[in-house]
Amino acid sequence: MGDLRFDGKVVLVTGAGAGLGREYAIEFGKRGAHVVVNDIGSTQNGVGSPTKVADLVVEEIRRNGGSAVANYDSVEFGDKLVKTALDNFGKIDVVINNAGILRDQTFSRMKEQEWDLILKVHLKGSFSVTKAAWDHMKKQGYGRIIMTSSPAGIYGNFGQSNYSAAKLGLVGFANTLALEGVKYGIHVNTIAPTAWTKLSEKVMPPGSEKELLPAHIMPLVVYLCHDSCTENGGLFELAGGLISKLRWQRTKGAVLREIGREMTPEDVKENWSAVTDFSEADSLNSIDELSIKIGEAIARIRAGDNDLGSRHPIRPKAIKKHKIAPFSTTCNRNGVILYALGTGASTKRKDNLKFLFEGHKDFCALPTYAVIDLKLTGIDGLNINFAKLVHGEHYLEVFKPIAVEGKLTSQFKVVDVLDKGSGCVLIVNAETFDESGDKVCLNQFVTYIIGAGGFRGQRTSDKQKTVVSPPTRAPDAVIEQKTNVDQAALYRLSGDHNPLHIDPGFAAMGGFKEPILHGLCSFGFSTRHVMEQYGNNDPKMIKAVKVRFASPVIPGQTLRTEMWKEGSRVFFRSVVAESGKACLTGAYVDLNTDAAPASSVPKQEPSDSLASDALFEGAAEKLTPEIVKKVNAIFQWNITAGGKVAREWEMDLLSGRGKIVRGKAANADCTITIAEEDVIELFKGTTNPKKLFLKGNIEATGNVFLAQKLEVLFKSQSKL
Ligand SMILES: CCCCCCC[C@@H](O)CC(=O)SCCNC(=O)CCNC(=O)[C@H](O)C(C)(C)COP(=O)(O)OP(=O)(O)OC[C@H]1O[C@@H](n2cnc3c(N)ncnc32)[C@H](O)[C@@H]1OP(=O)(O)O
């Protein structure tokens, strides 16, 4: 019958009195095999005396013209079964381990005997029969062995813990025999059938007896046992006509070890999604292939290339490589004033008018105006949750006073990414240049992304400007100032439009009860306080500022700046007066010792060639139209302003310093013409007879530094 013949082959089928085993035995008999039909069971033959079921199957095989003998031993005694084959047919070619029983019970009710019995019949029984046949097969250089596993072993099945254990045990057993037997021509395969039999009827769905027949299992078993089948070590799931081969699948996994650090359960937890992600799964065929994978992992660990934190939203390597495009901002008078208002300068505060009124003779930008427009732009696309990002620390170093007008261009660099456990710290440096290419300032932003730590990055960086501790004595000076309830709404107009400072919904996403004040706003307040206290309110006195934003400030709260002066360094700390909580800590201002504050600018000694106090004592009366004419004559000067016209400028005759107040002519070489009336008018308006304020049109033509020119001017002026 059929092409797949078994003529001359000796096949032993255990548990062949009924169900699957019977189906196999009859089929092998039809295909020319000598069959040993093993079964310990009996049945009623109709007249009351029990008949061995194996005999009935043997009879049927013989009726079909086949050759078969019965064996009634338990599979525990495998050698007896094999002896039946040898005694009757002289050899053993095929063993089908099929015999089985059930003792289903939930695990809590399962008795040890029930566990032992199931393992004895299925696992030990398969061992015993296979063991008895093995050496004969080896000797003859041929053998086919089938293990009968079960979906219950592969997937588990409620109430069958004993059976599942035995059935999966058979898979492992077969896998090893397949390796050991292959060189002797022995193939070992495993099936996990689902079929309706006397054994399984209690656990099968009703009506399945017609669909899930033993006849649907038999064909695979017969094929696997045929000479022509090369399959070895396979596991097949089959039922009702569907046959599938199974294999183990493994996730790509994650390498969670790094040299010099203990691997922890937390590492596993943090990387669980990587460990269990099947999207890049593969399947190995042998322990050798697994060894290769393990070797690859160890090589990666040695090379410092692990997956720790690789699924973490923060990717330090990518962040460090990230390029932030340079950007430019245009400073103007309105911007300078808006920033001053945003950081608490007030017309009601002493000597603040110069930051707020463009017509003021000393109109200038606050030193911290140098942080203008440096905002989150450019660090998007880095998988950072911006709602959780706060300004952690800031360092500003001023190299050149910020002009009230002109273009500034900033260049950024991500200098480090730190893992603080509870958060990720991102350090970004920004160097700002003016139009003449001079470096105006350096800003170092230390941003803290709350909750984004744990990516196993470095904790500290030598590139970070460090915070300092203030002296332990009581503060030398304290300045207190209340912020406005709309302080953040005002400050954001200077460039940082982060919704954290104005949008309650966004603030809630970051875990804040209400919008918080910009760190750089408090920074502006406190630096101004230090400048007021120790820098004669002169922006040029501020060389560098460092602060840590230790806790958020709510708009409307009062900032109390406590200061300690030691040499040219002013240590300070800011406290929210209402709560007593420190908001700026580890902070200092380094005063500029080169630029003496306005009040202590050394007076220029009168000399023959310089303007003298005597000359200008009571100058208002002395300033005649003749003098003005001479001034005008001297003011015929070439000063650069790139072709622009500067309309307003001022000078201090005593110090010999002067500057253009409005327009683009800060470093300009101009031809100056002054209306006589303007000179007189402004001169009369001055309260300080030693200062002469002039107003007029300055036309641009050349390229010479204004301050130098004005100094020369005053040298000439002394001759008036
Ligand atoms: C490119 C340009 C980008 C510009 C972006 C600017 C955007 C702006 O719009 C954003 C803002 O202005 S937000 C407002 C200002 N900032 C704040 O209010 C933050 C206040 N600070 C805090 O809440 C906590 O300090 C907090 C939450 C930050 C940390 O508190 P904890 O988690 O309790 O930390 P802790 O356990 O005390 O310390 C852990 C480690 O972190 C270091 N650390 C603490 N506070 C830090 C801070 N503020 N900045 C930097 N590092 C800080 C600690 O030293 C510790 O590290 P280590 O153990 O290594 O010493």
Sequence spans of domains, the chain: 10-246, 248-309, 320-591, 611-716
**Residue 163 annotated as catalytic:** yes
Tokens of 82: 């094999």
> Helix and strand tally (H, E) in the chain?
22, 25
Q: What's at 205, amino acid-wise? A: P
Which atom of ligand 1 lies at the shortest distance from residue 520's CA? Answer: 12
In the predicted structure, residue 16 carries a pLDDT above the cut 90: yes
Give all strands (DSSP E) within 42-177, no chain letters.
42-44, 50-52, 67-71, 94-97, 143-148
Q: Is the CB of 498 under 6 A from ligand 1?
A: yes
Tell how strand 439-450 and strand 389-398 pair up: antiparallel
Indicate the average pLDDT of the chain. Answer: 83
Q: Residues 65, 47: contact at Cβ < 8 Å? A: no
Within 542-664, where are the H helices?
613-616, 619-622, 625-634
Instruction: Supply the residue whose CA is at minimum distance from atom 35 of ligand 1.
Output: 422
pLDDT at 304: 74
Whole-angstrom distance, CA of residue 117 vs CA of residue 121: 6
Question: 611-716: CATH homologous superfamily?
Answer: SCP2 sterol-binding domain (3.30.1050.10)
Whole-angstrom distance, CA of residue 69 vs CA of residue 89: 9
Mean pLDDT check: name the lowest of 119-133, 324-338, 505-519, 684-698. 684-698
pLDDT at 641: 39
Q: Is the CB of 392 under 6 A from ligand 1?
A: yes
pTM of the model as a whole: 0.52
Res. 611 pLDDT band, cuts 50 70 90: very low
Res. 382 pLDDT band, cuts 50 70 90: low
Which atom of ligand 1 lies at the shortest distance from residue 418's CA? Answer: 59
Burial, 443: exposed, middle or buried (Cβ in 10 Å; 0-12, 13-18, 19+)? buried
Burial 214-223 (b: 16+ CB within 10 A, else e): bebbbbbbbe
Q: What's at 189, amino acid-wise? A: N
Distance (Å) of CA 702 to CA 485, 510, 659, 711, 715: 49, 54, 16, 17, 21
Q: Is the CB of 390 under 6 A from ligand 1?
A: yes
Percent of the chain with pLDDT over 70: 78
Provide the ipTM.
0.98
Higher pLDDT among residues 198 and 557, named by residue: 557
- Neighbouring CB atoms inside 10 A of 294's CB total 9
pLDDT in tens, 179-230: 999 999 999 999 999 988 777 777 677 777 778 899 999 999 999 999 999 9
Q: Residues 426, 446: contact at Cβ < 8 Å? A: yes
Whole-angstrom distance, CA of residue 82 vs CA of residue 85: 5
3-state secondary structure of 378: coil
Percent of the chain with pLDDT over 90: 63
The mean pLDDT value for 622-633 works out to 47
Which atom of ligand 1 lies at the shortest distance from residue 500's CA? Answer: 9
The CATH class given to the 248-309 domain equals: mainly alpha
Distance (Å) of CA 583 to CA 236, 367, 578: 68, 21, 12
pLDDT at 380: 63
Higher pLDDT among residues 703 and 325, named by residue: 325
DSSP string, 302-369: HTT---TTTTSS--HHHHHHPPPPPEEEEE-HHHHHHHHHHTT--TTSTT-HHHH-TTSTT----GGG
Tell how strand 542-549 and strand 423-433 pair up: unpaired
| Chain centre to alpha carbon of residue 178 | 46
pLDDT in tens, 454-484: 887 899 999 999 999 999 999 999 999 999 9
pLDDT in tens, 483-541: 999 999 999 999 888 999 999 998 998 899 999 999 999 999 999 999 999 999 999 99
Q: Is the CB of 457 under 6 A from ligand 1?
A: no
Whole-angstrom distance, CA of residue 569 vs CA of residue 401: 19
In the predicted structure, residue 703 carries a pLDDT above the cut 50: no
Q: Is the CB of 414 under 6 A from ligand 1?
A: no
Q: How far is the CA of 390 from the centre of ligand 1 (A)?
A: 7
Which of 135-149, 366-380, 419-433 has the largest mean confidence?
135-149
Mean pLDDT check: name the lowest of 44-53, 146-155, 180-189, 244-253. 44-53
pLDDT at 270: 84
Q: Is the CB of 551 under 6 A from ligand 1?
A: yes
Tokens of 412: 């950024």
Quick one: which H or E segment has residue 101?
Answer: none
pLDDT at 51: 81
10-246 has which fold?
A: Rossmann fold (3.40.50)
Instruction: Supply the residue whose CA is at minimum distance from atom 15 of ligand 1.
Output: 519
Active-site choice (24, 72, 163, 448): 163
Q: How far is the CA of 477 from the centre of ligand 1 (A)?
A: 26
* 260: CB partners within 8 A, 6+ apart: none
Q: Is the CB of 450 under 6 A from ligand 1?
A: yes
The answer to whether the Cα torsion of 590, 592, 598, 600 is positive or negative is positive
Which atom of ligand 1 lies at the shortest distance from residue 553's CA? Answer: 18
3-state secondary structure of 388: helix
In the predicted structure, residue 604 carries a pLDDT above the cut 50: no
Q: Identify the CATH number of the domain defined by range 320-591.
A: 3.10.129.10
